[in-house]
Amino acid sequence: DAGITQSPRHKVTETGTPVTLRCHQTENHRYMYWYRQDPGHGLRLIHYSYGVKDTDKGEVSDGYSVSRSKTEDFLLTLESATSSQTSVYFCASGGDRVNEQYFGPGTRLTVT
């Protein structure tokens, strides 16, 4: 569990403000992912990265952007937060064993 961390763990912000969530992994994993978890929807992929500066959209990418300047860090940005983005956000990372993913502890974001 110590191999992947997220910050902050909790955040309350107002509608219209920008928010950045950070994911940090020490496993030297190539792949990193951002998911959101909402009741009744399981885990939905927002964006993922397959290498430094290489990212792609997931199924719920609208309103989110990502950046990966180093192998160990993957940032998720909400440019202008909306109440519909209130959720629990999980980061995950995975190595060369195809599709195996390990999750961070999560960030609970509330947009008021």
Partner 1 sequence: GENVEQHPSTLSVQEGDSAVIKCTYSDSASNYFPWYKQELGKRPQLIIDIRSNVGEKKDQRIAVTLNKTAKHFSLHITETQPEDSAVYFCAASRNDYKLSFGAGTTVTVRA
The CA distance from 17 to 6, in Å, is 20
> Which region, judged by CB under 8 A, interacts with partner 1, from 13-21, 65-73, 78-86, 101-109?
101-109
> Does 89 sit near partner 1 (CB under 8 A)?
no
C-alpha separations of 15 from 1, 21, 58, 97 in Å: 32, 16, 23, 40
Q: Which of 22, 44, 61, 65 binds partner 1 (CB under 8 A)?
A: 44
Decide: is 103 part of the binding site for partner 1 (CB under 8 A): yes
Number of residues located near partner 1, criterion CB under 8 A: 24
* Closest distance of CB 72 from partner 1, Å: 18
Backbone angles phi, psi at 83, to 5 degrees: -60, -30
Determine contact, residues 25/3, Cβ cutoff 8 Å. Answer: yes
CA 74 to CA 82: how far, in whole Å?
22
Does 42 bind partner 1 (CB under 8 A)? Our answer is yes
Binding site for partner 1 (CB under 8 A): 1, 31, 33, 40-45, 48, 50, 58-59, 90, 94, 98-106
